[in-house]
Amino acid sequence: MASVAASSPISFAASFLRTKPFPLSPRFLPIRTPRCALSSSSSDPIEFDITFAPPKPTTPSSPRNTNTFQQLFIPWIVRGEDGKLKVQSQPPSHLIHALADATTQNPKKKVKKKKPQATATSASPPASEPKLSKAARRYYNENIKEPPQRLSKVLAAAGVASRRTSEELIFDGKVTVNGSLCTTPQTRVDPTRDVIYVNGNRVPKKLPPKVYFALNKPKGYICSSGEKETKSVISLFDEFMASWDKRNPGTPKPRLFTVGRLDVATTGLIIVTNDGDFAQKLSHPSSSLPKEYITTVAGDVHKRHLMAISEGTVVEGVHCVPDSVELMPKQHDIPRARLRIVVHEGRNHEVRELVKNAGLEVYSLKRVRIGGFRLPSDLGLGKHVELKQSELKAMGWKS
């Protein structure tokens, strides 16, 4: 037991620590229960006990080790509401509330100094294009970039002339590639890298995009350029070509041509494009693409006529047999008989020769279907519509 006299709590704590210093090592802290007394001039000394936490109880099997560390509880000396000092084991309530209501200040963020922008006078090196890996370049070359093509095909795609006319220009020595004269149409060139001149005019590096149209051909138009006084099917696209530069600035105009032919008196569906491979596949007889025609004939049609058409006839030295022949029901506004004939050869004047061989006279002929694509019923004569990918697939084309 010990008694300490002090005039204030601060002097009491100082005198207590001075008389009973604690060792530095916590495991040698003794367990004590001192008695303290406070004295003042106005009142008698106040005595109270300061009790520290007792040591942990030990079991009989384990002997007590006095050297083990024990937790130490420091009492709080506070002044109560009555103005008297007292000892308690918990901190004062106003301190607990103050700690609970305290806000933690966020650390100040470091503000990065902005670099001064380069002025117009200061010379800054130009930004270089990002370098691509070998795998990226290989993927681009194999899947995106078009391989080198035949020179005649490139000239035709660039709109110089038709493929046959382009070959004649090459044979005549009017085409140079990278400054050297080229007289072989099969020469492989890359328009994006090679410098190609035709008659002193350079072929543009950027080729026009592939376009595909379905046209409802009217009567009196031919499917080739022909003579100047003859109306061409391509002239029906003059308005479209005139507005090309507004819709596609910086892109060369496509050179349009028809896929196959319809004679000047035949109307109906014809495909117009600038894709030579697409035209070759659709127009070649080996594609066996069915084509449906509606023909109006003069006079009555009997069974023998249908049998004669079904047996076929010789066209251009080849015996052509239609896929199907059908007599269509009469309509009140159309007095003449109509036949639906489906062929796949695509020979010149094939349908007219079949009808003529059966002893009938063709009054009018209209093509209404190619493959799985049928001429839209609302498409007027001389009008065209751009084909979608699904409609191209219906005709057996995979771009």
Residues designated as active site:
263
State how far the Cα of 162 lies from the Cα of 150, in Å rounded to an integer. Answer: 13
Q: How far, in Å, are 92, 194, 233, 325, 369 from residue 263 at the CA level?
A: 110, 40, 11, 21, 16
Q: How many Cβ atoms sit within 10 Å of the Cβ of residue 215? A: 25
CB proximity list for 166: less than 8 A, separation 6 or greater: 151, 152, 153, 155, 156, 160, 185
CB proximity list for 102: less than 8 A, separation 6 or greater: none
Counted residue by residue, the chain has a size of: 399
Sign of CA dihedral 216, 219, 222, 227: negative
Report residue 380 CA to chain centroid gap.
36
Q: Which alpha helices (H) appear in the chain, and where do they start and end?
A: 9-19, 93-101, 134-139, 151-157, 163-171, 238-242, 244-247, 276-283, 303-311, 350-357, 389-394
Secondary structure class of 146 (helix, strand, coil)? coil
**DSSP secondary structure code for residue 69 in this structure:** -
**DSSP secondary structure code for residue 219 in this structure:** T
**DSSP secondary structure code for residue 28 in this structure:** G
For tokens 């070959």, the residue is: 167
For residue 274, give the nearest of 361, 211, 207, 364 by alpha carbon: 211
The answer to whether 296 touches 266, Cβ cutoff 8 Å, is no
State how far the Cα of 146 lies from the Cα of 180, in Å rounded to an integer. Answer: 23
